Amino acid sequence: MGKNLDMVIELLKEKGADFFLMHSGNANFFYATKFRSSSAMFYLLGVDGTELLLLPEMELNRALRESKVKEISSYEMLGYEEKLKELKNSREVILEILIEILNEGRAKKVLIPNDFPSFFGFALKEEFDVETVENPFLKMRAVKTTSEISEIRMSCERVVAVFSETLKLIKSRSLTCEEIRSFIELELLKLGLIAEDTICVSGKLSADPHEVGRGEVEDHLLIDVFPRSRNGYYADFTRTVILKDNLRLKEMLFAVVEAQKKAISMLREGVNGREVHEAVKDTLKSYGFETKKGEGFIHSTGHGIGLEVHEEPKIGDLDVALKGGMVVTIEPGLYYRDVGGVRVEDVVLIKKDGCEILTPFERSLVL
């Protein structure tokens, strides 16, 4: 974590700030603290490198075992119970404790992430110079460590294995979308992966990229699986299976696969994600597929994946320099109301001179 903290400290210096203050309930917090709890917690990093994890007393011993943060205090150690008798509101008490800690650290300027709760943000702004910033841990998380890559690789291998079994099942008998979804999620859990809202959608409903699907399987099936391991690392994998002869769907799938191949062929350190997205758009257009009025290629090309299923970098309309160690999805799709949607998605590890597909599996699935 040493190197990572340096990056936040650099941001503090650049902004002339004394502290970075983050709240719990998000992947950045876990990344910074290596501690998970449903309790309300705060993480404070000083420009001098001092660190503090602040949490309820009943989490203290577990945090001392699990967390990597140098100093850990409980609200109770800082007068929570006496303050609660007076203020009668837990949030007000925690605010008072935060202000005391920041005053003790002689804080003048404090950085908070964009998603910091406004209750605390507004109140701290009355006491200190407070500025919202994009959470610096977001940027750090975009480039994965070796152990993170192993975690994601494992999730990806398991997803592919389960999808392979699912495909055999689909070939062998007729099931509803709900039955296929249940099969997938149960098989994933047997391998230690937790999946929710697995997309298994057929027919025209699939024209909405996030529709999970229901009922009988029609002419094609779009399956998008994005489970996470017990350690919290996601995979994200989509295949479209054409079950009945439908020329339009076949043409859409062909174009999407070609666009995905084109995008993946471009991936390496230093490439601009926006250019990858442009190439996908151009490829789909070259096969005659237009995008307008909520139809066509209506989402971005991909996104980082890790502790969140969607994280940095976004591969879309904005410039972003891809770096070795980033793990992203490449998922072109085409969606038309009169026929439905088609999408193909792989997880790809970006390397210095190219990339590695972490979810290798046949893309043109026409049964």
Q: How far is the CB of 122 from a second copy (least distance, A)?
A: 6
Q: Does 60 bind a second copy (CB under 8 A)?
A: yes
Q: Which one of 8-16, 56-64, 152-160, 276-284 is the stretch in contact with a second copy (CB under 8 A)?
A: 56-64
| CB within 8 Å of 158: residues ≥ 6 apart | 188, 191, 192, 193, 227, 235
Which CB atom, from 185 or from 345, has the smaller least distance to a second copy? 185
Q: Which one of 32-40, 99-107, 167-175, 236-244 is the stretch in contact with a second copy (CB under 8 A)?
A: 32-40
Q: SS3 for 313?
A: strand
* Angle subtended at Cα 232 by Cα 228 and Cα 236, rounded to the nearest 5 degrees: 35
Which strand (E) or helix (H) includes residue 355?
Answer: strand 355-357
Which CB atom, from 279 or from 298, has the smaller least distance to a second copy? 298
Q: Does 59 bind a second copy (CB under 8 A)?
A: yes
| CB within 8 Å of 200: residues ≥ 6 apart | 177, 178, 180, 181, 184, 212, 213, 221, 222, 223
Which CB atom, from 188 or from 365, has the smaller least distance to a second copy? 188
For residues 17 and 132, the answer to whether their CB atoms sit within 8 Å is: no
Radius of gyration of the chain (CA): 24
Q: How far is the CB of 140 from a second copy (least distance, A)?
A: 19
Which amino acid does the sequence have at 84? Answer: L
Q: Does 296 bind a second copy (CB under 8 A)?
A: no
Q: Does 82 bind a second copy (CB under 8 A)?
A: no
Q: Does 129 bind a second copy (CB under 8 A)?
A: no
> Which spans of this chain sit near a second copy (rule: CB under 8 A)?
36-39, 57-62, 76, 84, 88-91, 112-122, 125, 130, 132, 182, 185-186, 189-190, 192, 194, 196-197, 207-211, 294, 298-299, 309-310, 317-319
